[in-house]
Amino acid sequence: MKVGILGAGKWGTAIGGVLEKNGHETFYRHHGDAAQPWPAGTDFLIVAIPVQTMRETLSRFPAPGVPVLSLSKGLEVATGLRVSETVRAVWPGTEAGALSGPNFASEIAAGLPAAAVVGAESEALAGRFQELIHNRSFRIYTSTDLAGVELGGALKNVYAIAAGLCVGMDLGHNAFAALLTRCLAEMTRIGVRLGGRPETFSGLSGVGDLLLTSGSDLSRNYRVGRLLAQGRALDAILAEVGVAEGVETAHSLYNLASIPAEAKPVACQVYSILFEGMPPRQAVAGLMERAAAPEIRGH
């Protein structure tokens, strides 16, 4: 197969390495290559570019006329759209899917054992993406819950910031475990309201990715939270860390009128810390002082 990769950052090149090990031919494009046509015989296109520049970048290129697989995780701030929805808005009629899971690019590039899920609305397309990437060191599962797969990957970035804040404030192991548990409940509740299936959030793109990105400095979103807890300014943190999709996804999630504030309390506090200057410990107090409630509620 001949596979194009739009975006030659760590994640795009890591997946490119997987494809090459699988015997596929790859080529790379970046935002400045729009004048170059897609090569004849291209079978798939993979996009691995920041979510907030996705629409602008895709708009520079003609529709590829082949299935597109997204590696990017986030929600577009202006619209709240998932990446596959943005792809289809810019390139109408394009078949789109998403790969998501607990994956650090450096470990994929090193060939360490890992797993992920590819989501597509049709089982046949999900299977084609699976055949493209699956190998003995990178186990790929399929799902027809494209919305759930994308939402798990996007929302966990917001909660990884919360986890970093928790660790940075030295709130203890009890608080950390409780926070992640409630974050999983919250992202599942939001994800279901936005069209995902609840079981998807118990899988690789949900709890799997949440666990990975909520406890390691390899996670940019976790680092953002930890450094915020130390009193660092957000602009200075992002200049050091680079693109952290959870920051703008928190903005997008906060703005989603279809999800009321009471359904996203952790996300709202993360937003307030990031964009309204709320002190992190005040945000913790706001969460702890809410009215008592049952643990299990309907979505």
**Catalytic residue set:** 156
Rounded to 10 degrees, what is the CA torsion of 116, 69, 58, 160?
A: -10
> Are residues 169 and 284 in contact, defined by beta-carbon separation less than 8 angstroms?
yes
> Are residues 167 and 224 in contact, defined by beta-carbon separation less than 8 angstroms?
no
